[in-house]
A and B are shown apart, each in its own frame.
Chain A
Amino acid sequence: MSVPAVFDYHPVQSVDEAIALLQLYGDEAKILAGGHSLLPAMKLRLTQPEHLIDIGPIPNLAYIRKEKDAIVLGTLTRYKQIEQSEILHKYYPILPEGTALIGDQQVRNRGTIGGSVAHSDPAGDMPGIVLALKAQLVVQGANGTRTIAADDFFVDTFLTALEQDEIVTAIRLPLPAPHTGSAYAKISNKASHYAIAGCAAVLTINKKGLCTSASIAITGASTRIIRASEVEAALISKKLDDATITSASSHAVANADLISDIHGSAEYRQQMAAVITRRVIMHALERA
């Protein structure tokens, strides 16, 4: 298919306007942000919304700013802005680093962090990174604004904790504790650049060189976006030497429902997840 199925198009100027339309059209409506996940899916007729609500025209939703206790990204912040953000390079290099691996420059000119998070594609990079960063997702709906912890947000493939009438408006990242390092890397499909197996790691080390906090998320390998809790448990309170990291990384997808397809068998993904997790932890540690 070269074009999406027929739909009515609703460009909106405010979040309230978008929410009113979501209430009106319910399941028949989809939110359009950058469109680089939704439009390909619509062209393949994997989804056929009857109403497309384009939040692109809403002003002031694309920003990256440092607040007192968090770094906040507006939902329409495009990947290119993230890639070039000095604030993020300073506090959380994992984000510009991971973003630079998404698709290509044309995709990064259009794709948005809020769109990727709300799309909840386990092969995407942003959901895993946001999860490892313990982000709080600010969502707005008919009943007002609430925040959802990333841990509770990603429910399953293309499924989030968002209610039908809710929109992600911002992503809040808690400021890193001293001696925190973060990194992301993936083994990806050569054409689409989607992750076959990727890892996002955020580590904090104390003065004695012991790991006091480890947040590890796996992308690409599993049918849903997951924290690698067994890896985290194997790192906490330990001195992160080579043997500890290698051993911990072998559990990267221990609790995952692995994908097996033409891009990689489950066995391949399992092995690659361990390899990439080890590399990413090493890299995050260097930055801590």
Chain B
Amino acid sequence: MATKRSITITVNGQQHQSEIEPRMLLVHYLREILDLTGTHIGCNTSQCGACVVLLNGEAVKACTVLAMQAHGCEITTIEGLAPAGELHPIQTGFWEKHGLQCGFCTPGMIMSSYQLLKDNPHPTEDEICKGLEGNICRCTGYQNIVRAVQDAAEHMSTETSIPVSTQN
């Protein structure tokens, strides 16, 4: 057994401190230690994107980051994107445009879309496809996902600020 390490991490605005095995992946830490099961595990090989979360505001695949690498960092998961009971405009976009069928890929899609729109608030269809190339959906054929992101871009550009909640 390897020496356990102490980790301090801020997830959705709340600080957590735990003793963990160094080999624990960030996605397992979020799901199993913090019970934040909105972050999914799909391929577990950094290809499918179901596990995408924001690490200091940047989209990462949480199956390919050690929890220890996020020590001292801020993580936002799908649960923390909007205050409890509310939807972030990207979530609304997926709702309104039917950007999902089974929903398994959706949390990752939404977190990747967040990064995409942060970097490029008015993406073209091609730029949306390129931005979401790291997220695989097996149901929709992607058309409605692209429409959902377009819808979100439209609504976000008319709002003054899109806060990532630090309340939850």
Identify A39's interface contact among B2, B66, B131, B136, CB under 8 A.
Answer: B66
For A4, A105, A191, which residue has the most chain B Cβ atoms within 10 angstroms?
A105
Q: Does B47 contact A (CB under 8 A)?
A: yes
Q: Does B44 contact A (CB under 8 A)?
A: yes
Q: Whole-angstrom distance from the CB of B160 to the nearest CB of chain A?
A: 26
Identify A106's interface contact among B1, B45, B61, CB under 8 A.
Answer: B61
Identify A109's interface contact among B23, B45, B60, B68, CB under 8 A.
Answer: B60
Are B64 and A11 in touch, CB under 8 angstroms?
A: no
Identify A105's interface contact among B28, B64, B65, B115, CB under 8 A.
Answer: B115
Beyond A6-B1, A11-B71, A110-B64, whether A104 also contacts B134 by CB under 8 A is yes
Q: Which A residues are CB-close (under 8 A) to B55?
A: 109
Identify B59's interface contact among A35, A36, A106, CB under 8 A.
Answer: A106
Q: Which A residues are CB-close (under 8 A) to B133?
A: 104-105, 193
Beyond A7-B22, A9-B5, A35-B65, whether A104 also contacts B49 by CB under 8 A is yes
Q: How distant is the Cα of A103 from the Cα of B58 in the complex, in angstroms? A: 15
Q: Which B residues are CB-close (under 8 A) to A233?
A: none
Q: Does B116 contact A (CB under 8 A)?
A: yes
Are A9 and B44 in touch, CB under 8 angstroms?
A: no
Q: How distant is the Cα of A52 from the Cα of B28 in the complex, in angstroms? A: 19
Are A105 and B46 in touch, CB under 8 angstroms?
A: no
Q: How large is the interface on B (under 10, 10 to 19, 20 to 34, 35 or more residues)?
A: 35 or more
Are A107 and B61 in touch, CB under 8 angstroms?
A: yes
Are A105 and B68 in touch, CB under 8 angstroms?
A: no
Q: How distant is the Cα of A109 from the Cα of B44 in the complex, in angstroms? A: 18
Identify B44's interface contact among A5, A43, A56, A107, CB under 8 A.
Answer: A43
> Interface of B with A (CB < 8 Å)?
1-3, 5, 21-25, 28, 41, 44-47, 49, 52, 55, 58-61, 64-66, 68-69, 71, 112, 115-116, 131, 133-136
> Interface of A with B (CB < 8 Å)?
2-9, 11, 32, 35-36, 39-40, 43, 52, 54, 56, 80, 103-107, 109-110, 191-193
- Can you name 27 A-B pairs with beta carbons within 8 Å? A2-B44, A3-B23, A3-B24, A3-B25, A4-B23, A6-B2, A6-B23, A7-B23, A8-B3, A9-B68, A35-B64, A36-B46, A39-B64, A54-B66, A54-B69, A103-B134, A104-B49, A105-B131, A105-B133, A105-B134, A106-B46, A106-B52, A106-B61, A107-B64, A110-B64, A191-B47, A192-B47
The 4 closest A-B CB pairs, nearest first, are A104-B134, A9-B22, A109-B58, A6-B2
